[in-house]
A and B are shown apart, each in its own frame.
Chain A
Amino acid sequence: MDERERLKSFEQTVLPHLDAAYNLARWLAGNDHDAQDVAQEACLRALKFFGSFRGDNARAWLLTIVRNTFYTWLRKNRPPQNVIEIGEEGLAVEDVTVNAEILNSRLADTETIRHAIEELPVEFREIVILREMEGFSYKEIAGLADVPIGTVMSRLTRARRQLQKRLAGEFKPGAKP
């Protein structure tokens, strides 16, 4: 394939997923500037390795590269103590027995929920984005994030409990000014 054809094919196959790539990069990096760097770098890497793309899911393939690019970038640009180590065990079965209707009205507030997601450890955050915004199956996420399906399940469960706790917490007596 000549260069022109290769570029054309890349533009048709991979670039339609640029929004998804940027969205993931934005949620991982936490700001627009870094997210643009990561997304751009990832697209260029994708182009470089486009010849080896054999699968049928270009979006999953591109997001895998975005994710890897992000972690490489993270190691280079942020001090390691900001990377939170999480254990896989100890999923507490705590009650989130908050009134469902109250939670509902709370969640209508986008800013609140955005903050809550941002405060999740990055390993939880990425699973939430891949599942809820991108709609990938557990199996696809496992492949994308290179972890077992069981880990996807437990991280997703723990991420949701953390989100609910944070969102519900604001209603506990005394939590409000």
Chain B
Amino acid sequence: MNCQQARLLIDAYADGELDPAGILELEKHLHDCPACALVFRNVQILKKSLKSDSLFFTAPTELRQKLKAELRPQTESTKPFRIWKWFTAVTASAAVICLALLLSLVLTRPSARQQLAQEIVSSHIRSLMANHEMDVASSDQHTVKPWFDGKLDFSPPVKDLAAQGFPLTGGRLDYLGNRAVAALVFHRAKHVINLFVWPTKEGDSEPAVVVPINGYNLIHWARGGMTFWAVSDLNERELMEFARDFGAN
């Protein structure tokens, strides 16, 4: 590979988008060519700077309020209705709803795991919508870990991954699958990662991608008697990076 070819691939390499064969060739070239290695380092520095929170524009309250007003349901039609008509309508629709519910229960009963995944995503969204990401806000793992003592019947592993680009920003208590669980909150640029942890009897497993729900990516693994669920709108690759970094000793 010559410099000209290398320069065209350096960005894809930095983005983790290069195929395995390309990676091998490019890494060999970068090892031998200080000029291209510098270009690569500069791309990495630039990428890091572009992820800065302060470059991200958050939607102003004004816009939220305008939308809220627009999204209010239209008042229902006010055509006069006789009372018996109401009765028939209500009974008929109740019957239809019951039937539909029964059918949907039989036909689409989600597996326990799917249900849990759905619960996890809902919990993640709630934490974002209610602006209640954290009960304890701290980037210090030695503050966050003791905070859970006495609030849970287990002690979740807590680590800060700031060095890997996923700073810990806090923790909170949450309730999932009929039990209290620990939620650790991490950030990647403007993306929030919720990591839910609780004890399990399942054996250790490597981080594995779970089918995304509503555009939220999910990764699950188990280690040392704890089950871990990471959820975020971050892309799957970076979320996997996070899971590996967290799981690594």
Q: List 7 A-B contacts (CB under 8 A).
A: A19-B59, A20-B233, A23-B59, A47-B71, A97-B39, A138-B15, A153-B12
Decide if A104 is an interface residue (CB 8 Å cutoff): yes
Query: Could you say which of A32, A133, A157 contacts B11, with CB atoms under 8 Å apart?
Result: A157
Provided the pairs A40-B70, A137-B235 are in contact, do residues A12 and B51 lie with their beta carbons within 8 angstroms?
A: no
Within 8 A of B (CB), among A4-56: 4, 7, 10-13, 15-23, 26-27, 32, 35-36, 39-40, 43-44, 47, 55-56
- The 7 A-B pairs at the shortest CB distance, nearest first, are namely A107-B49, A22-B59, A132-B50, A26-B57, A57-B215, A58-B215, A135-B235
**16 new A-B contacts at CB < 8 Å, known A23-B59, A56-B215, A153-B17:** A7-B73, A11-B71, A12-B214, A23-B56, A40-B63, A44-B70, A47-B71, A97-B38, A103-B45, A108-B49, A133-B51, A137-B237, A153-B12, A157-B10, A157-B11, A163-B46
User: Is residue A110 within 8 Å, beta carbon to beta carbon, of the partner chain?
Assistant: yes
Task: Decide yes or no whether B4 CB sits under 8 A from chain A.
Answer: yes
- The stretch of A69-77, A78-86, A88-96 in contact with B is A88-96
Interface size counted on chain A using CB atoms at 8 A? 64
Are the CB atoms of B51 and A132 closer together than 8 Å? Answer: yes
Given A22-B63, A113-B50, A104 and B45 contact (CB-CB distance below 8 Å): yes
Interface residue tally of chain B, by bracket?
A: 35 or more
Contacting pair B55 A113 (CB below 8 A): yes
Query: Within 8 Å CB of A138, what residues of B?
Result: 12, 15, 17
Question: Quick check: is B150 within 8 A (CB to CB) of the other chain?
Answer: no
The secondary structure that dominates the A interface is helix
Tell me the chain A residues, 127-175 only, with Cβ under 8 Å from chain B. Answer: 128, 131-133, 135-138, 140, 153, 156-157, 160, 163-164, 167
Q: Write out the residue numbers on chain B whose beta carbons fall within 8 Å of the beta carbon of A11.
A: 71
* Contact call A96/B42, Cβ cutoff below 8 A: yes
Q: Could you say which residues of chain B place their CB within 8 Å of the CB of A131? A: 15
Interface centre among A47, A128, A138, A153 (most CB of B within 10 A): A153
Cβ contact within 8 Å between A18 and B214: no
Residues of A participating in the B interface, judged by any CB pair closer than 8 Å? 3-4, 7, 10-13, 15-23, 26-27, 32, 35-36, 39-40, 43-44, 47, 55-61, 91, 93, 95-98, 100, 103-104, 107-108, 110, 113-114, 117, 128, 131-133, 135-138, 140, 153, 156-157, 160, 163-164, 167
